[in-house]
Structure 1
Amino acid sequence: MTRRAVCPGSFDPVTNGHLDIIERAAGLFDEVVVATGTNVSKSRMFAPEERLEILRQAVAPFPNVSVAGFEGLIVDFCREIGAVAIVKGLRGATDYEYELPMAQMNAHLTGVETVFLPGAVANAFVSSSLIKEVAAFGGDISAFVPDFVAERIRARFD
């Protein structure tokens, strides 16, 4: 039986912190699906198709990782693809307090468990929002995102 997990997120943009969690999840599960919501009503730097394209390039080094878009509840997507777990990275206590009620609701709704992985210390302060803010003011984001992502972000502010 294939043990499939989902790593959900907006990934706008994908960061090295995200990739750390995805790589570690790939070592724990037979297959990992990186899933990004495609809600077009939300304002994002990158459109849904762009985020999927960027994610595919970012996870290409991991042979058991694929990328998919989804709409609606993540647990419904998990049920559709037969995932047994949702993998979430935690940077600290605030993330845990935010994620725990969702994990409990997801388990209640479908029985899909949530696996929390602590983020690497080097990435503890990095968020997609912070990356966009720093980039908007011309700051150097190259240590926090893959090079090709940094180039795409810089192109948005040029």
Structure 2
Amino acid sequence: MRALFPGSFDPVTQGHQDVLRRAALLFDEVVVCVMSNPNKSGRFPVAERLELLRAAATDLSNVTVDSHTGGLLVDYCRDRGIDVVIRGVRGGADLDYELPMARMNHELAGVETFFIAADPSLAHISSTLVTTMNQQGRVPER
């Protein structure tokens, strides 16, 4: 079964890498995709995020890296024969945010969402936190 792990990955964190590695053990193929909105500017260029994801997946033979600009996530899945979307959740707030989207993806295109709970040792990490720490000259991880 093919699965999609979408996100902005702005920047890629150890939490993202953990979810990706665990998803790669569960699915035949995982496409990790930098989703970008042309109306928003990211902190890191898409090309750099793709490079970081490729580096994170070098030892995962069933993982491919891609990017997508604009359009619906379910259209990306439908065009590529992907039936499952992977989402990492750190806690209740993430689940509250993700659950309505999961329901809509299922309603629109029959795409299921597979939630992977964050490793407790990484649950406090977010792309925003990593960027803030980098700006302050403290690099917790990347």
Q: TM-score range by the shorter chain?
A: over 0.9
**Structure 1 unpaired stretches of 5+:** 146-158
Q: How does 1:125-144 map to 2 (within 5 A)?
A: 125-141=124-140, 144=141
Q: TM-score, normalised by structure 2?
A: 0.95
Instruction: Provide the residue aligned with 1:11 in structure 2.
Output: 9
Q: Which has the higher contact order (CA 8 A, sep 6+)?
A: 2
Mapped pair 1:70 → 2:68: yes
Residue 74 of structure 1 deviates from its aligned partner by 1.0
Q: Mean Cα displacement is larger for which, 33-42 or 88-97?
A: 33-42
For the residue of structure 2 that corresponds to 1:117, the secondary structure is: strand
Partner of 1:156 in structure 2? none
Match of 2:59 in 1: 61
Q: Counterpart of 2:107 in structure 1: which amino acid? A: H
Percent identity, aligned pairs only, is 48
Structure 1: 4+ residue segments shifted above 3 A: none
After TM superposition, the score normalised by the length of structure 1 is 0.86
C-alpha offsets along residues 87-146 of structure 1, whole Å, 9 cap, x if unaligned?
A: 0000000000000000000000000000001000011110000100011011132xx32x
User: How far apart are the structure 1 equivalents of 2:98 and 2:36?
Assistant: 20
Higher Cα radius of gyration: 1
Distance 1:129 1:38 in 2: 16
Runs of 5+ consecutive residues of structure 2 not aligned to the other structure:
none
Aligned to 2:37: 39
